[in-house]
Amino acid sequence: MQQQITLSLLPQHTANDGVLKKFIADHLGKKINEIKGYTLVKTSVDARSKNIRINVTLIVFVNEPFQPQKKSSFEFKYVSQAREKVIIIGAGPAGLFAALKLIQYGIQPIILERGKDVQARRRDLAQLNKHGIINPESNYCFGEGGAGTYSDGKLYTRSSKRGSIENILNLFIHFGADENIAYEAHPHIGTNKLPGIITAMRETIIEHGGKILFEKKVTGFTILKNTVTSVETTDGDSFTANACILATGHSARDIFYLLQNKNILLEAKPFALGIRIEHPQSLINAIQYGNFHHDNYPGYAVLNPASYSLVQQVNNKGVFSFCMCPGGIIAPAATNENEVVVNGWSPSKRNNPFANSGIVVQVDLPDALRELKKNGYLKTDAVKDPLSFLHFQQLIEQKAFDAGGGKFVAPAGRMIDFCEEKVSSTLPKCSYNPGIHAAGFDHILPAFINDRLKTALKLFSKKMKGFYTNEAVVVGVESRTSSPVRIPRHPIGLHHPQINNFYPCGEGAGYAGGIVSAAMDGERIADQLAKVLVG
């Protein structure tokens, strides 16, 4: 007999198979030798009380042989000679998962990626971190795997209605991810492991007749009779296919300009902007776990480095944590010279000494237009300009670059100093490799963001006692939280309303917010194309 049960256990009780079986047997009123095995369905940490618990959901095999859960299998067809071909612009999660799904349908994907493969991309990231030299086509945002490859690999999403989260996670496991992502409440792969997984995906696509072409920056589309007839790249090559998926990510500003210049419909999309804050991980552990964070607590080794999720309404706008990275590193996420952008990532073990998170404020169109006008950027038709949020984003990033002093050094300040509008006389150690420079933020962030951040940071300490401290450092700016532009698409056909075979997809088009939701959107577009192309 198989039974699904949920137990609430002390952390140390989940780490020992014999102890766990005893709790299972006691819960079911059985003898321990009647428990033949179990499969984990879900685990989560409940740290709301002084006694931290691990909630464990299991399928238990009682008096019948244990059968390990079968791994999902995927059938990839050979598509080298397929009649139906689809161009995919961008090799991020949306593009890669769209390609894998198309191959399952017998359709050949041709991926055009402006950046380099994951291995070559590492060298460009090293140049950026060590020497402040950026490659506009190969950085934390551009290259194989997209922004997600070198920015943590968080797999948590609330977008269950967009597709099968389980299918996405099983595909990651198929390509080498740890099986624990299937049952952890907040699954996480780790930046150190993602490149190998992305490489395995690429090899599968190529082995089955798909194409992935690197350093192929798209610079043009030929459109005739509401149909994309060819896609052109900066090296003069031209590609044709039955359809085109645009999966370029939230930072491909040149694509937005290209579409605008061709009078292709775009929409301004609200997004959030703010700062990234870094605490010692030991402090966050102490806040979240209390006495349980000490090494002498028997369950301490079982607990992952603590995380947090915070939200506060301040003057009718949400201020919230974003992309929280326990045991993480702050990374330079700019894509061009003269702009500073910060993001965060963690290795799989989350064992770095710092915890960082974006703390951001929602930006609405009147806010953006007011700031653009104040800085002389406002055009007479700016209210109707779908790139208004993008211009605002660029403005703030350029101010941050100037305040840092160059070479992607970021403006920074201790948290309390930031809130009291002081320039810090000293700065704590920080994981941001290009370096930080003490600066005031009043000339970087507009007042509607700055004032709300100051209020929220103080209020957050009521939810997390000790959060508001000068041990924490504020680093600016966190500005690439999501795309500032939406590329509209037909609600049923999913193609662009003006172009029958052009499919905006993923985070850059405004339909996703992270690795899993982008991957699901890629699969959704592939499913729709299969209906159109093969019936």
Domain boundaries, the chain: 2-62, 85-265+484-533, 271-478
* 512, 518 contact by CB (below 8 A): yes
Q: What is the arithmetic mean of pLDDT over 165-170?
A: 92
What is the rounded average pLDDT for all residues in the chain?
93
161 band by pLDDT with thresholds 50, 70 and 90? low
Q: Are strands 342-345 and 329-332 parallel, antiparallel or unpaired?
A: antiparallel
Domain 2-62 and domain 85-265+484-533 have a common topology: no
Q: What is the arithmetic mean of pLDDT over 8-33?
A: 92
| Higher per-residue pLDDT: 52 or 329 | 329
Residue of 511, 493, 509 whose CA lies nearest to 501: 493
Q: Are strands 243-246 and 85-89 parallel, antiparallel or unpaired?
A: parallel
Side-chain half-sphere exposure of 415, counting CA atoms within 13 A = 24
Tell me the pLDDT tens digit for each residue of 520-534.
999 999 999 999 999
| Torsion angle in degrees (nearest 10) through CA of 251, 215, 117, 169 | 50
The CATH fold assigned to 85-265+484-533 is FAD/NAD(P)-binding domain (3.50.50)
- Provide the 8-state DSSP code for 435: -
The hierarchical CATH code for the domain 2-62 is 3.30.70.2700
SS3 of residue 472 by DSSP: coil
pTM of the predicted model, to two decimals? 0.94
Tell me the pLDDT tens digit for each residue of 389-430.
999 999 999 999 999 999 999 999 999 999 999 999 999 999
| Higher per-residue pLDDT: 286 or 94 | 94
Tell me the pLDDT tens digit for each residue of 207-262.
999 999 999 999 999 999 999 999 999 999 999 999 999 999 999 999 999 999 99
The rounded distance, in Å, linking the Cα atoms of 511 and 94 is 10
124-138, 240-254, 279-293, 295-309: range with lowest mean pLDDT = 295-309
